[in-house]
Amino acid sequence: MNDGYELLDSGNGRKLERFGEVVLERPCAQAVWQPLQPDIWDRAMARFDRVGGLNWEGRGRMPDRWNVEIAGVVMKLSATDFGHIGVFPETRALWEWIRSTLAAEKEKKGRELKFLNLFAYSGGATLAAAQAGAQCCHLDASKGMVEWARENAALNKLQDAPIRWIVDDVIKFLRREVKRGNRYDGILLDPPSFGRGKKGELYKIEESLMTTLDLVHGVLTDDPAFVLLTSHTPGFSPIVLGNLLRQYHNSGSFECGEMLLTGKPGVNDLPNGNWARWINE
């Protein structure tokens, strides 16, 4: 995949990544092997670790913000105190799948499709769906992240696209959507292991995911395109995610796999989360 992101190397519990011209080194527990190219790690502009707290080394050498095109979507990046920078690049292949699937379904059905992105973070998937001509609803419990996503929309000249920007608790929102009769053709949800809603509502994936999926099933159109479920929670393997979706559908097809950080040929792929999807075929 040729874009502004590249995994350069990984190993010893760390990963070395390039975001545009900025090279960063950050923790990655699953990188239990030895680095393949130890001589390139000094290219890192800054390093983040969690030893004795949350610490950036070299943060002052980084730009306060910079823009990078990833999988056809321009994203604003900026270092946060928690080590995140505003994008999870392991999801970029899913953005491309969402974009192409919604575009094909729009042509096949001959109507505009509606896409719902839950736990939507900085909006990569939302904007990929908007690029395909879908009406989008982008929901996150963090007002700051929704504002960040709106900035990304402007960077992609999608500030006037039909996108609803919602700051809310997912379960409360879905319950209201069921009552309102609002329905969606494609849904993506990326539930956190642990999170808080807009008003401090507790979300624990083991306790809340089934309720969430029940409500997701209740806001699908009569002829939907897909439901896509992703997770970074240990134990929620591709098979587990697929089995969760199979509870709601007895037709169509199911696919599942790992989300990967990837680089040039010869660089070890780095698993970073899992996905499963139901496709209404």
Which CATH number characterizes residue 144's domain?
3.40.50.150
Residue found under tokens 């290219």 = 43
**One domain, residues 114 and 237:** yes
Residue 187 DSSP one-character state = E
Quick one: 131 and 46 in the same domain? no
Q: In this structure, are 170 and 33 located in the same domain?
A: no
Q: Of 225, 228, 277, which is closest to residue 255 (Cα–Cα)?
A: 277
pLDDT tens track, the chain, 281 positions:
347 999 999 999 999 999 999 999 999 999 999 999 999 999 999 999 988 778 999 998 999 999 999 999 999 999 999 899 999 999 999 999 999 999 999 999 999 999 999 999 999 999 999 999 999 999 999 999 999 999 999 999 999 999 999 999 999 999 999 999 999 999 999 998 877 676 777 788 889 999 999 999 999 999 999 999 999 999 999 999 999 999 999 899 999 999 999 999 999 999 999 999 999 98
What domain count does the chain have? 2
Claim to verify: residue 21 and residue 141 sit in the same structural domain: no
167 domain-assigned: yes
Q: Which residues, at least 6 apart from 250, have a Cβ–Cβ distance to it below 8 Å? A: none
Pair 108, 62 in one domain: no
In DSSP terms, which residues pair with 163 in a beta bridge? Answer: 136
Residue 207 lies in a domain: yes
| DSSP letter assigned to residue 42 | G
Phi-psi region of 155 (alpha: psi -120 to 50; beta: other; left: phi over 0): alpha
- CA atoms of 279 and 14, how far apart (whole Å): 35
Q: Which helix (H) or strand (E) holds 147?
A: helix 143-155
**Which phi-psi region, left, alpha or beta, contains residue 28 (left: φ > 0; alpha: ψ -120 to 50)?**
beta
Residue (of 251, 120, 135, 257) closest to 186 by Cα position: 135
Same domain, 13 and 41: yes
- Are 190 and 115 in a shared domain? yes
Question: Per the domain annotation, does 84 fall within a domain?
Answer: no
Same domain as 232, residue 125? yes
In whole angstroms, give the CA distance from residue 114 to residue 14: 39
Which structural domain range is residue 271 located in? 89-279
Residue 82 lies in a domain: no
